[in-house]
A and B are shown apart, each in its own frame.
Chain A
Amino acid sequence: MLISRKTVVIAGALSSVGRAIADQFARRGFSILLAGRDVDELKCLADDIKVRHEVSCSVRFFDALDFASHGGFLDQCVESFGNTPGGVVYCAGYMADQELAQMDFATAKRTLDTNLSGAVSLLEKFAALFEECGSGFIAALSSVAGDRGRKSNYIYGAAKAGLTAYLSGLRNRLYSANVQVITIKPGFMDTAMTWGMPLPAPLTASPEAAAKAMVKAILRGANVIYVPFFWRWIMMIIRYIPEWQFKKMNI
């Protein structure tokens, strides 16, 4: 089976980070497939990428929660590029208000499904394909929120912690097949998800700056990266706080 190196599928491209990641790949000459639920909006993004970077860019409908459709979606990706994609980046994510998620299980389930089950369902399909042909990369946006559960958003955190563990295992499995798996853990980013939250400006990255670091790390073949980099140290401190102390804290 032929492998087209410079092609990438962005699942969840409608988010500002997804768009910025696609833009970074396009800058480097990649052909892009943007996938998400709003095809009209995706077409606007695709036009933008084509004008700016003179690369080919197509769009496909993709719903992270419609697990049954993921196999068909994979076929569409292969068909669109004419062969196996070079890689996939899973950017779909959903963060509900924590209190709402506590009270309403449907919201909690949607959080778990979008961030974790959807990723497992889709990425397993890609993993099998990449494993078979012995190359490719799989990147997914987890979160620093998955490094330790906090009362302010532990349901989202639990989903991301699951995703982090999933990617770690997947990396272990695919190592011998020469498939890169990259876990991306963003800290605060200035996106629609965090709009209106009182985030400290010096710790908050723009989607463009974050995406630049992410794509660099993907192409370098990194394993786990924090974006911006200093979140690695922040989270290390937070992870080392003993539980008897942590449970009393408001962070």
Chain B
Amino acid sequence: MLLNTASKTLSGWGRYHPKDCAVFRPERNSELKSFLEASGDQSFIPRGLGRSYGDTAVNEAGLVLDMCRLNRMRHFDETTGILDCEGGVSLAEILETFVPRGWFLPVTPGTKFVTVAGAIANDVHGKNHHGDGTFARFVHSLELWTPALGVVTCSPSENSEIFWATVGGIGLTGVILSAKIQLRAVESAYVKVDYQRCPHLDAVLEEMESRDRDYLYSVAWIDCLAKRAHLGRSILMRGAHARVRDLPRRHEEKPYKFSRRPPLAVPIDFPGFVLNNLSIKTFNTLFYRINRNRQEVITNYESYFYPLDGIHDWNRMYGRRGFIQYQAAFPFEGRMGLVSMLEMLSEQKRASFLAVLKCFGPSNPGLLSYPMPGYTLALDIPCKPGIEEFTRELDRILLDHGGRLYLAKDSLTDSATFAAMYPGVEAFREQCALLDPQGLLSSAQARRLHLIK
């Protein structure tokens, strides 16, 4: 079959080590079908909007299957709130369509520019993980194309072993064609937020453990450059969807409307010196000072959930060399690991602004699902010489305290470290071997971490 592929230089959102890939982008089901039926022996990996930070959806050894144009919604049940849509539908499209009708995403990551299939394949979590779990919990069922079995419908009750391998399985079990997801009923497009300053890590962790359960959403912005007495100082931002009675009178009439600011854009790659330690430190200190304790602030969902989506291509701020994201989860008993990681970050001055701390609730049976009960810390690290050694140090701290890192953010770890963090990887490899005996599905990350046999 003659495939119309485009050659593109692809990387993750961190723009770390881009690679030349041949990309096929079907626009019709028939095109996808003939590709899948006649893909031959070339390996491929499905790709959505490319918001994974590392090489999750990069495959320089074969093809990349861009699924963004297969983004048709199929059906919506107004009474139950269940949406049936193709995997390429983005969370932004769901919000645009359904917020005005009173429905919100059940779980959302920090960007709305991800596809439904990508959200499932990375088993994304949101600010409500402590109470609601991950995106997968709201997936009633999904249709997966696998090389061995063709199209399989799976859910927690039907073909559950395939379902739990696919959830967090970063596209290696097959191509997620469609999913039925449960949306959340809301009364408005606004969120009611309590802001709270916590001067030290202990204060924020204690506050999270004792009172997170009172809030649907909870997240803390943490200053990774603050040291000693200020170590881990944070702004805790917790809230829930605002009800109509919470809204100021001017919004009461049209609770689902708010004025959007036109998105800004970063038109060029910033030179590397723009984000330096001084500018980041100034930003962090200002951010901490500006945010005072405030109760019941009404803000629209865009600014609460997606502050960075308002700046298109914000990843260019890190310049041509790009950056990596590092997201670590520690179990509750590994709290000291979190402390030593923060100490190391503030000593070495490598962390940047917008580090995020959150308390996770229970994990799910997903073989490679990331969240575990405990704490999670996410940060950007600009690419500078020595970054590999630095992240190896971070990995070591994580391993020593029983933690793990997040595949959607990973660019640099190695297979032994990964296997030590995820005991489910062996079962995952076996499931992949059953679904894909020829090893058609493969990515740069899968090869680096030996996620497949």
A interface, CB within 8 angstroms of B: 14, 16, 38, 40-41, 44-45, 47-48, 51-52, 192, 195-197
Q: Which of B6, B29, B83, B93 contacts A195 (CB 8 A)?
A: B6
Assess the A14–B28 pair: CB atoms within 8 A: yes
Most chain A beta carbons < 10 A, residue from B4, B25, B28, B30: B28
User: Which candidate, B73-81, B106-114, B241-249, is the interface stretch facing chain A?
Assistant: B73-81
Q: Which of A40, A48, A52, A196 contacts B29 (CB 8 A)?
A: A40
14 A/B residue pairs, CB under 8 Å, sorted by A: A14-B28, A16-B69, A38-B28, A40-B29, A40-B30, A41-B28, A41-B30, A47-B75, A51-B73, A52-B97, A192-B4, A192-B27, A195-B6, A197-B6
Report chain A residues within 8 Å CB of B295. Answer: none
Question: How far, in Å, is B147 (CB) from chain A's closest CB?
Answer: 24
Q: Which of A14, A44, A195, A197 contacts B72 (CB 8 A)?
A: A44
| Complex CA–CA separation, A196 to B7 (angstroms) | 7
| Complex CA–CA separation, A16 to B88 (angstroms) | 14
Question: How far, in Å, is B389 (CB) from chain A's closest CB?
Answer: 35
Residue of A nearest to B22 (CB): A196
Assess the A51–B76 pair: CB atoms within 8 A: yes
Residue of A nearest to B6 (CB): A196
Q: Which of A40, A51, A197 contacts B74 (CB 8 A)?
A: A51
Assess the A195–B4 pair: CB atoms within 8 A: yes
Interface hits, B21-45 → A, CB 8 Å: 25, 27-30
Per CB-CB distance, the 3 closest pairs between chain A and chain B, nearest first, are A48-B72, A196-B6, A51-B73
Assess the B27–A51 pair: CB atoms within 8 A: no
Report chain B residues within 8 Å CB of A16. Answer: 27, 69
Residue of B nearest to A52 (CB): B97
Report chain A residues within 8 Å CB of B291. Answer: none
Assess the B27–A48 pair: CB atoms within 8 A: no
| Complex CA–CA separation, A48 to B7 (angstroms) | 30
Assess the B5–A196 pair: CB atoms within 8 A: yes
Most chain A beta carbons < 10 A, residue from B6, B27, B93: B27
B interface, CB within 8 angstroms of A: 4-7, 25, 27-30, 69, 72-76, 83, 85, 93, 97
Assess the B69–A51 pair: CB atoms within 8 A: no
Question: How far, in Å, is A59 (CB) from chain B's closest CB?
Answer: 13
Report chain A residues within 8 Å CB of B97. Answer: 51-52
Assess the A45–B72 pair: CB atoms within 8 A: yes
Assess the B5–A47 pair: CB atoms within 8 A: no
Q: Which of A41, A51, A192 contacts B75 (CB 8 A)?
A: A51
Question: How far, in Å, is A238 (CB) from chain B's closest CB?
Answer: 26
| Complex CA–CA separation, A87 to B202 (angstroms) | 66
| Complex CA–CA separation, A45 to B97 (angstroms) | 15
Assess the A38–B30 pair: CB atoms within 8 A: yes
Assess the B69–A44 pair: CB atoms within 8 A: no
Assess the B73–A48 pair: CB atoms within 8 A: yes
Question: How far, in Å, is B24 (CB) from chain A's closest CB?
Answer: 9
| Complex CA–CA separation, A45 to B74 (angstroms) | 9
Question: How far, in Å, is B160 (CB) from chain A's closest CB?
Answer: 28
Report chain A residues within 8 Å CB of B69. Answer: 16
- With A16-B69, A51-B97, A52-B97 as contacts: A195 and B25 at CB distance below 8 Å: yes
Question: How far, in Å, is B5 (CB) from chain A's closest CB?
Answer: 6
| Complex CA–CA separation, A16 to B75 (angstroms) | 21
Residue of B nearest to A194 (CB): B6
Residue of A nearest to B66 (CB): A195
Contacts A44-B74, A195-B25 given; 19 further ones with Cβ under 8 A? A14-B28, A16-B27, A38-B28, A41-B28, A41-B29, A41-B30, A44-B29, A47-B72, A47-B73, A47-B74, A48-B72, A48-B74, A51-B76, A51-B83, A52-B73, A192-B25, A195-B4, A196-B7, A197-B6
| Complex CA–CA separation, A175 to B25 (angstroms) | 42
Report chain B residues within 8 Å CB of A38. Answer: 28, 30
Question: How far, in Å, is B360 (CB) from chain A's closest CB?
Answer: 33
Report chain B residues within 8 Å CB of A51. Answer: 73-76, 83, 85, 97
Question: How far, in Å, is B413 (CB) from chain A's closest CB?
Answer: 32
Question: How far, in Å, is A34 (CB) from chain B's closest CB?
Answer: 12
Report chain A residues within 8 Å CB of B27. Answer: 16, 192
Residue of A nearest to B7 (CB): A196
| Complex CA–CA separation, A57 to B38 (angstroms) | 33
| Complex CA–CA separation, A195 to B4 (angstroms) | 7
Report chain A residues within 8 Å CB of B93. Answer: 52
Residue of A nearest to B28 (CB): A41
Report chain A residues within 8 Å CB of B75. Answer: 47, 51
| Complex CA–CA separation, A203 to B83 (angstroms) | 36
Residue of A nearest to B8 (CB): A196
Report chain A residues within 8 Å CB of B28. Answer: 14, 38, 41
Question: How far, in Å, is B313 (CB) from chain A's closest CB?
Answer: 11
